[in-house]
């Protein structure tokens, strides 16, 4: 046995990756329909392109086989709830990406009131709480057919099948009762005279006294050492022994 073939992509990516208008439109679709990523948008766009290509071929083709294929194609779109029975082939070219998004199971559960938000609807599907007919569907991108609209419900064994389950209750804020307007005119309060506080005069800064120069100490005269009196020459006492 050989290796299994690699499955081909069922969608095509945008030709140019950086187009601000397209990027903003994709972000809005993700927020509105609770999509996981842009891959789910590209899948729906690729499906829509195939519808357009098939319609253009059926308009140009002639013969019994072309008429048969065109009839089968229109019945398929009618079963998906995308067009009415009275619609023409040219009306298919007026379909948009939002028309396909509205037929997804995730959006359908939200519109039916089974979930409080589009993200909660996705959670119910992926956790296996939703039945379509007798089948349990776990794909949020499943396209609900027109004949299956009344067959969408919760799994009987699921706790969410109870309509009083807290996760299914949609809480509505109670509006506050409106106050009745009284015909009597409100009494005017006497205007109180505003007591003006007397303006305080700015305090004058005390004048700074001129700094007194420190008194200079009188210079002390150097004490003169008393001069040594000349030693009196001792008179030589001459012993005049001989006088």
Return d(Cα 78, Cα 180) in angstroms, integer: 54
pLDDT of residue 106: 96
Helices (H), 61-114: 64-79, 97-102, 105-112
Residues 31-53 have pLDDT tens digits of 999 999 999 999 999 999 999 99
How confident is residue 191, by pLDDT bands cut at 50, 70 and 90? low
Answer yes or no: is pLDDT of 163 > 60: yes
pLDDT of residue 243: 45
Check: CB of residue 80 under 8 Å from CB of residue 148.
no
Distances (CA, A) of 77 to 6, 66, 84, 177: 30, 17, 9, 49
Residue 72 tokens read as 């089968």
Q: What single string gives the DSSP state of each residue in 209-234?
A: PPPPPPPPPPPPPPPPPPPPPPPPPP
In the chain, residues under CATH classification 3.10.290.10 are: 104-168
Q: Which of these, 83, 84, 129, lies nearest to 106 by C-alpha position?
A: 129
Check: CB of residue 71 under 8 Å from CB of residue 86.
no
pTM reported for the whole predicted model? 0.66
Task: State the CATH architecture for 104-168.
Answer: Roll (3.10)
The H or E element containing residue 47 is helix 38-60
Q: Strands 135-136 and 130-132: what pairing?
A: antiparallel
């Amino acid at each position: 046995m050989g290796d299994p073939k690699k499955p081909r992509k069922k969608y095509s990516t945008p030709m140019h990756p950086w187009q601000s208008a397209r990027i903003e439109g994709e972000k809005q679709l993700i927020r509105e329909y609770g999509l996981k990523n842009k891959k789910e948008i590209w899948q729906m766009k690729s499906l829509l392109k195939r519808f357009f290509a098939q319609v253009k071929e059926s308009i140009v083709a002639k013969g019994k086989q072309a008429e048969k294929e065109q009839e089968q194609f229109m019945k398929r779109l009618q079963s998906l709830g995308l067009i009415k029975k009275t619609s023409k082939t040219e009306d298919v070219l007026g379909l948009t990406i939002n028309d396909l998004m509205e037929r997804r199971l995730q959006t359908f559960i939200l519109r039916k009131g089974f979930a409080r938000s589009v993200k909660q609807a996705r959670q119910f599907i992926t956790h296996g709480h939703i039945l379509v007919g007798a089948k349990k569907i776990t794909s949020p991108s499943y396209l609900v057919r027109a004949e299956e609209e009344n067959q969408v419900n919760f799994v009987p064994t699921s706790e969410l099948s109870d309509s009083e389950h807290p996760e299914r209750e949609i809480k509505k804020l109670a509006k506050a009762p409106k106050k009745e307007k009284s015909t009597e005119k409100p009494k005017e309060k006497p205007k109180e005279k505003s007591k003006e506080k007397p303006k305080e005069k700015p305090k004058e800064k005390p004048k700074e006294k001129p700094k007194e120069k420190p008194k200079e100490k009188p210079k002390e005269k150097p004490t003169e050492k008393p001069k040594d009196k000349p030693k009196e020459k001792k008179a030589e006492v001459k012993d005049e022994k001989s006088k």
